[in-house]
Amino acid sequence: MQNLLDFIADSPTPFHAVANISHRLESAGFRRLEEGEAWQIAEPGDYFVTRNDSSLIAMRLDRISGETGFRMIGAHTDSPCLKIKPNATNCSNGYVTLAVEVYGGALLNPWFDRDLGVAGRVTVKTASGAMTSLLLRIDEPVAFIPSLAIHLDRKANEQKSVDRQKHLPAVMLRSDDGKYDFHTLLKSWLCRAYPELDIDRVLSFELSLYDCQPPAAVGLGGEFIASARLDNLLSCHGAVEALLSAGGRANRLIVLNDHEEVGSASSSGAAGPFLASVLARLCRDEETLSRSLEHSMLVSADNAHGVHPNFAERHEPGHRPLINEGPVIKINHNQNYATNSESEALFRAVCELNGIKHQSFVVRSDLGCGSTIGPITATRVGVRTVDVGVPQLGMHSIRELAGVKDQQYLADALRGFFEYPDWPF
Ligand code: CO
């Protein structure tokens, strides 16, 4: 459990998550492949490859052929958040504020009154003229979005709405000076983080605000995990654990994509060619790839909505997943989830073989259904897929709530999937 909490605390952005997972894989003997180089793949062998520093595919290969498929686990590295706009700083009414863009379907109210740090990727030019991208993390509360006092908004408790343009700029500094250069600040942060580099200037950045409060075990018995980005770093962590711990012989692969929260359409997102390209290069020819895919399956792991005790009516009766009662199989016949009866059956069989409790979820007919990388990957690659995930509360809040037992159940189920002896496909 502490391992998961440390991973989330150390991964405020997808760039950091991919860097941390890469480091873990390298320590376990996985070899890094570069997409731009010729691949010499040995079987058996352990490899990983990243794209855009924010998506990652790792694999333990046994033997690639038309008779053997791939057992795959997918998850996403991104979470809804506030990203910093290019011309970031404004000075007005005696304050320097930071302009932000809402990334994905963030629940905005919880972002107020938090101690916010800054993290992401910055591309710089060094004194030698080289262009290089650097990870940056300022784990200090350098920004804050204060609520408006209730005395100035008497209806705040009845009808609080957030104007994302007007209400979200984050306070950074009290200053009467009309100018403040964010690039100068960034450069000073980078010079502190990378004293060995001679940085000339900042060219561009992808930075987010994040909550400096670390993840914690909460509740009377410490049975809950409270943290940012549980959706979906919890599943990324479970996928990595499963890949590293599974025994037996099979081709096993995990794919962790960025940009799920904004629809997955990007070169590194699940709607892009990343996974299809890696599989094509592994299989080498179309015939082997097509045959291999028919023997393959993807478990798409992304958190599910547990039933909220104060809002139980928002769930379909008979489909009210509870925290710490095991992974949830998500079903939507309109293909917002890619689960079908065969992929569901296999996942249930895996759970039963390993003594893992599991639950099922279907959305109420009068509510819209969320989606995941499952149906997108199934469409893009043509692989049978089951959508699963641990139940959580407060999805897309800056501090979400999941179960301590569930993260272990998920990791065990994913490992069980990789090891399942009676592969039916
Ligand atoms: Co998600």
Q: Ligand 1 mean position to 303 CA, how many Å?
A: 6
pLDDT tens digits along 95-117: 999 999 999 999 999 999 999 99
Distance 361 CA to ligand 1 centre (A): 15
| Confidence (pLDDT) at 87 | 94
Q: What confidence tens digit (pLDDT) does each residue in 332-378 have?
A: 999 999 999 999 999 999 999 999 999 999 999 999 998 899 999 99
- Measure 192 CA to ligand 1 centroid, in angstroms: 34
Distance 328 CA to ligand 1 centre (A): 13
Confidence class for position 217, pLDDT limits 50, 70, 90: very high
Percent of the chain with pLDDT over 90: 97
Q: Ligand 1 centroid vs 199 CA: distance in angstroms?
A: 36
The length of the chain is: 425
As a whole number, the mean pLDDT across the chain is 97
To the question of pTM greater than 0.95 for the whole model, the response is: yes
Per-residue pLDDT, 71: 98
pLDDT number for residue 176: 87
Taking the centre of ligand 1 as the mean of its atom positions, its distance from the CA of residue 176, in whole angstroms, is: 42
CA 224 – ligand 1 centroid, Å: 18
Distance 113 CA to ligand 1 centre (A): 24
CA–centroid distance, residue 231 to ligand 1 (Å):
5
> Is residue 160 predicted with pLDDT exceeding 90?
no
Tell me the pLDDT tens digit for each residue of 27-57: 999 999 999 999 999 999 999 999 999 999 9
Q: Which CB contacts under 8 angstroms, 24+ apart, belong to 320-325?
A: 321/359, 321/360, 321/361, 321/391, 322/359, 322/391, 323/223, 323/224, 323/391, 323/392, 323/393, 323/401, 323/402, 323/403, 323/406, 324/223, 324/403, 324/404, 324/405, 324/406, 325/357, 325/359, 325/391, 325/406
145 confidence band (pLDDT: 50, 70, 90): very high
Q: How many angstroms does the Cα of residue 178 sit away from the middle of ligand 1?
A: 41
Would you state the structure tokens that stand for residue 213, as one six-digit string?
A: 């409060």
Who has greater pLDDT, 177 or 291?
A: 291
Q: How many Å lie between the centroid of ligand 1 and the Cα of residue 19?
A: 20
Cα(161) to centroid of ligand 1, in Å?
Answer: 24
> What is the reported pLDDT for 214?
97
Cβ contact 131:202 at 8 Å: no
**Is a pLDDT exceeding 90 seen at residue 92?**
no
